[in-house]
Amino acid sequence: MKILYINSLDKRYGSTYRSRNIAKALIGLQYDLTYVESNLDEKIFEKSISIEQKDSLFGYFSATCKRTRLALRLNYDVLFIQKFIPLAIPALLAAKLRGKKCIVDWDDLDFCYQEN
C-alpha cells in the first residue's frame, strides 16, 4: 500500500516528532511511504519531500498550494494528514476528489476543540 504522509508543520513543533515516529513505524511495517514535511533540512526517509514554508501569510499559502499539488499528482492509496489544521485541508480535499482514503492524526484534538 502506498501512503502519502503530509506534515504541514516543521521541526519547531512537538507534533512533528510524533509525526516522524509514526512515519518510521509505517515504513517498518513495509508500507511504501512518501513523507512530506515543511522546511525539512535533511532527508530523514528514503522518500522525503521538503516544502519550503516561510512564516508569512504568503509563505503558508504557497506551501499549502504545493502540498495540494502533491496530493493531486502523486501516486498513492492513502493520504495520512499529520494534524487537522487549515494548512492541511486543501490537500485533504484534493485526495477526497481523487477518491483516495484519508487518515487524520488527531493526536490532541488541538486546544480549540477542547474545553480544558
On whether the CB atoms of residues 16 and 40 are closer than 8 A, the answer is no
Q: Rounded to the nearest 5 degrees, what angle is found at the Cα of 94, between the Cα atoms of 109 and 46?
A: 80
pTM listed for this prediction: 0.88
Tell me the C-alpha to C-alpha distance, in Å, between residue 73 and each of 25, 69, 88, 91, 98: 25, 6, 16, 11, 10
Provide the grid cell at 38: 515543511
Judged by DSSP in three states, 108 sits in coil
Beta bridge partners of 76: none
CB 82 within 8 A of CB 9: yes
Please give the DSSP secondary-structure letter assigned to residue 39.
T
Return per-residue pLDDT of the chain as tens, 116 residues.
Answer: 999 999 998 888 878 888 899 999 999 999 999 999 999 888 888 899 999 999 999 999 999 999 999 999 999 999 999 888 899 999 999 999 999 999 998 765 555 555 54
How many Cα atoms are found within 13 Å in the side-chain-facing hemisphere of 62? Answer: 11
Cell numbers for 71: 496530493
